[in-house]
Amino acid sequence: ASRFEGIAMAPPDPILGVSEAFRADTDEKKLNLGVGAYRTEELHPYVLKVVKKAEQLMLERGENKEYLPIEGLAAFNKATAELLLGADNPVIKESRIATVQGLSGTGSLRLAAALVERYFPGSKVLLSSPTWGNHKNIFNDAGVPWSEYRYYDPKTVGLDFEGMIADIKAAPDGSFILLHGCAHNPTGIDPTPEQWEKIADVIHEKNHIAFFDVAYQGFASGSLDEDASSVRLFAARGMELIVAQSYSKNLGLYAERIGAINVVCSSAEAASRVKSQLKRLARPMYSNPPVHGARVVANVVGDPALFGEWKAEMEMMAGRIKNVRQKLYDSLMAKDKSGKDWSFILKQIGMFSFTGLNKAQSDNMTNKWHVYMTKDGRISLAGLSLAKCEYLADAIMDSYH
């Protein structure tokens, strides 16, 4: 008998499992709207031109494959903090930020969770309801207790702002409040600038710490600065923060696993101590991070011409998603004679749309229409083309009514 007999089969991942099921489907009409990855109008994966240029430069320079330091590539860490906060931000000028290169967004969140577990024992993290499914796994595995704050209101398919504020107020003082910097996943619903101010007020009053997950900077609005405005608003108030970043979406570096964890502190001394502890946590987990994606980011951000090209490509990608969003809305409005208001689709931002389809309806989308999506009713518009909007609208009509 196997010594591993006692190990049961694990359930498939609710998001990545959708891609596995998609691959197994042989129907020509099939559509994968599960995972959040950008596709062209022809539904092909897309490598940014600016990434290819940066890689060409790297090849010409003949860079070596020596280990990076535990904290990652210095040029990347500098660039990533500046992209997040703006190069002239006092936080950076005063060296009040501890930045460590992470294994993309997920690995950066995991490292921060380890910091919370070690130095804030018993402190709770509050997650939005709903949130990206992996947040719960990350904090569970790090041994950090979590609970949820209200966020999505199914009646309005909008933000339950009162509920959100009440739940943040009710959390034990000194909790960590996980916030999506922009393009909330899965709902696509973000607070307004006025609401962000109010959220910052309550977090400050309660002595909580804001913990931002920034996975879509530049990808939501097309502007890096606009998409970082929530984080910058908190930083401008002098608040201490944790911010995880990812370059999976905005630079299309999904498989390179490049991101960072930033801890904004109230003094340079605190920041250097925090950084030393982040390194101490990273060393026994993975020693040091991979170099390729870090060099790509550093080269793109560090070269004014490439930086400009990146911004143009980001606008192009964000623009394509907006066009698809509009076309899906138009198709639904044209087909739906029930008088239902689908305008919430236009109000949502980023890669996803939260359709309001329940589990049974989502199952119908997949089983009958070969449309693969997560069971919470989320569809990735980045995996949709203008040409497929009519088909998708037919599938939604059939499943909804």
Q: How far apart are the first and last CA of the chain?
A: 52
Q: Which one of 53, 124, 132, 275 is the catalytic residue?
A: 132
**CB nearer ligand PMP, residue 57 or residue 290:** 290
Here the tokens at position 26 are: 């042989």
Say if strands 146-150 and 209-214 run parallel, antiparallel, or are unpaired.
unpaired
Q: Least distance from C-beta 308 to ligand PMP, angstroms?
A: 24
Q: Is 155 a catalytic residue?
A: no
Q: What angle do CA 247, 106, 346 make, to 5 degrees?
A: 60
Annotated catalytic, 132?
A: yes
DSSP letter for 145, please: -
Smallest CA-to-CA distance from 231 within 251, 249, 247, 217 is with 217
- As measured in angstroms, the least distance from the Cβ of 179 to ligand PMP is 10
Catalytic annotation, pick one of 124, 160, 167, 249: 249
Q: How far is the CB of 254 from ligand PMP (least distance, A)?
A: 6
d(CA 161, CA 195): 8
DSSP class of 180? E
Contacts of residue 179, defined as CB under 8 A and 6 or more positions apart, other chains included, come to 128, 199, 210, 211, 212, 213, 230
Question: Which CB, 164 or 395, lies closer to ligand PMP?
Answer: 164
Residues that bind ligand PMP (CB under 6 A): 36, 104-106, 132, 180, 185, 213, 215, 246, 248, 254, 259
Please tell me which residue in 213, 227, 275, 369 is annotated as part of the active site: 213
Residues in contact with 55: Cβ distance below 8 Å, sequence separation at least 6, in sequence order: 296
Q: What residue is closest to ligand PMP based on CB?
A: 105
The CA-CA-CA angle for residues 249, 103, 241, to 5°, reads 85
Please identify, using beta-carbon distances, which residue of 212 and 342 lies nearer to ligand PMP: 212
Closer Cβ to ligand PMP, 132 or 211, answer by number: 132
Quote the CA–CA distance of 165 and 212 in Å, as a whole number.
Answer: 16
Residue 72 Cβ, how far from ligand PMP at the closest point, in Å? 15
Residue 301 or 332 having the CB closest to ligand PMP: 301
Least separation in angstroms between residue 47's CB and ligand PMP is 16
Catalytic positions are 132, 213, 249
